[in-house]
C-alpha cells in the first residue's frame, strides 16, 4: 500500500501484475500516482523499482528481486 506505482515505467512494466492491483482511493483498477503541477508523487514507484526493476534493459539499476512480480495498491 503506497501512493501508487507508475506501472508504465520501462523498469517496471514487464514485472507489473495488473490483476492484483487496485486503487482504493479512486475505486478503479489503475493505482497510478496522482500528480499535480507542483507535486510529483513517486515514492511507490521508487520502492517498486528497488524490488523488481528489470535487469539488463539499459536503464540505470536493477531490483533486488528483478524477476519478481509487483502489484500496486493505493
pLDDT of the residue at 59: 86
Model pTM greater than 0.95?
no
pLDDT of the residue at 39: 67
Q: Look over the chain and give the mean of its residue pLDDT values, rounded to a whole number.
A: 88
Q: Alpha helix locations (H) across 1-74?
A: 43-52
Residue pair 3/45 in contact by the 8 Å Cβ criterion = no
Whether 51 has a pLDDT exceeding 90, the answer reads yes
How many percent of the chain have pLDDT more than 70? Answer: 95
pLDDT per residue over 12-44, tens digit each? 999 999 999 999 988 998 898 877 676 677 888
**34: which DSSP letter?**
P
Torsion of CA 43, 47, 53, 58, to 10 degrees: 40
**43: which DSSP letter?**
H
Amino acid at each position: 500500500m503506497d501512493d501508487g506505482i507508475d506501472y508504465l515505467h520501462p523498469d517496471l512494466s514487464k514485472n507489473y501484475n495488473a490483476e492484483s492491483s487496485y486503487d482504493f482511493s479512486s475505486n478503479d483498477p489503475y493505482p497510478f500516482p496522482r500528480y499535480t503541477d507542483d507535486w510529483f508523487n513517486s515514492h511507490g514507484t521508487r520502492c517498486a523499482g528497488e524490488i523488481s526493476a528489470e535487469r539488463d534493459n539499459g536503464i540505470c539499476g536493477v531490483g533486488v528481486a528483478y524477476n519478481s512480480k509487483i502489484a500496486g495498491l493505493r
